[in-house]
Structure 1
Amino acid sequence: MKNVKIVLLGYMGSGKSTVGRIVANHLNIKFLDLDTYIEEVEAMPIASIFETKGEIYFRKKEIEYLNKIFSNEESFVLSLGGGTPCFGTNMALINEKTANSFYLNVGINELADRLLMEKSHRPMISHLQDEELIGFIGKHLFERSYFYNQAHQKVKSNLNTPTEIAEMIVKKLV
């Protein structure tokens, strides 16, 4: 495939990075994780950026770096942060720059099961009691579904393995 840009979006824990690496490896193209990219360029973890510079600063940088990544002519698979599509004109930019945006649609219960195991490493949910997690995820998915559903393709997880999801994505490429 020549000059293909693939963007994976969805809620935290949906498998964007894991699936993205598999898709990139399968297609022999570069894999990028937007949060990791921002941490490297800003030389600090996302949590520290939020803490020291605030969310508005982070969201502005997110838009800036998203534009920079898309200005690159190389092929890539890009995994977004869960909130990236929901701010500014990010979703419009994504869909303007590629015909290959994929929403990894994972059910609330499955997301809760995944996130319970890594809650302490996720600043957005680390403060929640375990029993609060399903309600928190449900509320966020409701708020974000408008943006997530603007992706060109939806890939329903249905407890599939990351490799199976990656294969579904490769088959749907334009």
Structure 2
Amino acid sequence: MKILLLGYMGSGKSVVAKQLSKALQYSFVDLDTAIVEDQNQSIAQLFKTKGELYFRSKERLVLDSLLEGSENLVLALGGGTPCYGDLMQKLTHTPGVITIYLGAEIDTLTNRLFSQMHTRPLISHISDKEVLSDFIRKHLFERNFYYQQAHYKIKVDQKPVQEIVREIVALLF
């Protein structure tokens, strides 16, 4: 089984996926980290030097490779991963793949991301919390169509990681 966590940046995909993989004794992969290892460049550097289209094509190749493997896996997707081309439709119709959307309120995302803006290419140009909140609101609205197609949806606001992990385990098993 492949359990894919998706959601907006700052929703906790990587942290939750890592703990979920431990609880289930599955392998853990963060898609962004796998891309960095494959390309020997940071995500920010890839965006800057080669552009988003190049990044998305490499992201798709790395993801396809991970999904073809036979091992049980918990995979944290990038925030934009399910929002390009037919990928979300493919993920929701692939046997053995379960998609889970980690949903967070705009205030939660803004508070989590404000201190991380310099490490996130999409928001690195923003310097004001209110502008960040507006950006997230607009961007989340654009991506929500894809996120809502996930097999399961879990709200993560005000919840410790272990509680989210327990919810996911209860949903799936």
| TM-score under structure 2 length normalisation | 0.95
Moved over 6 A (4+): none
Query: Do the aligned residues in 1 keep the contact of 2:104 with 2:157 (CA within 8 Å)?
Result: yes
Choose which of 61, 65, 79 in structure 2 pairs with 1:64: 61
Query: How far, CA to CA, are the matches of 1:118 and 1:52 in structure 2?
Result: 21
User: 1:136/1:29 Cα in 2 relative to 1: closer, same or farther (>3 Å)?
Assistant: same
Query: How far, CA to CA, are the matches of 2:148 and 2:12 in structure 1?
Result: 17
Corresponding residue SS for 2:10: coil
Output one character per residue of 1:131-174: Cα deviation in whole Å (capped at 9) or x when no partner: 20110000011000000000000001131011111111111116
Query: How far, CA to CA, are the matches of 2:137 and 2:97 in structure 1?
Result: 28
- Specify the alignment match of 2:130 in structure 1: 131
Deviates more, 1:114-123 or 1:149-158: 114-123
Pairing 1:79–2:67 present: no
- Specify the alignment match of 1:43 in structure 2: 40
Residue identity opposite 2:32 in structure 1: D
| TM-score under structure 1 length normalisation | 0.94
- Specify the alignment match of 1:110 in structure 2: 108
- Specify the alignment match of 1:173 in structure 2: 172
Query: How far, CA to CA, are the matches of 1:28 and 1:18 in structure 2?
Result: 15
Deviates more, 1:132-141 or 1:85-94: 85-94
Kindly report the root-mean-square deviation, in angstroms, between the aligned alpha carbons of the 2 structures. Answer: 1.1
Residue identity opposite 1:54 in structure 2: G
Output one character per residue of 1:14-69: Cα deviation in whole Å (capped at 9) or x when no partner: 00000000100000110001110000011111111111111111111111111111
Specify every segment of 5 or more residues in structure 2 that has no aligned partner in the other structure, as ranges.
none
Query: Do the aligned residues in 1 keep the contact of 2:12 with 2:102 (CA within 8 Å)?
Result: yes
Query: How far, CA to CA, are the matches of 1:57 and 1:125 in structure 2?
Result: 19
- Specify the alignment match of 1:9 in structure 2: 6
Choose which of 9, 15, 30 in structure 2 pairs with 1:33: 30
Specify every segment of 5 or more residues in structure 1 that has no aligned partner in the other structure, as ranges.
none
Residue identity opposite 1:107 in structure 2: E
Choose which of 17, 20, 25 in structure 2 pairs with 1:20: 17
Query: Do the aligned residues in 2 keep the contact of 1:99 with 1:152 (CA within 8 Å)?
Result: no
Deviation, 1:92, is 1.6
Query: Do the aligned residues in 1 keep the contact of 2:4 with 2:98 (CA within 8 Å)?
Result: yes
Percent of pairs identical after alignment?
A: 46
Corresponding residue SS for 2:93: helix
Residue identity opposite 1:117 in structure 2: S
Deviation, 1:96, is 2.1
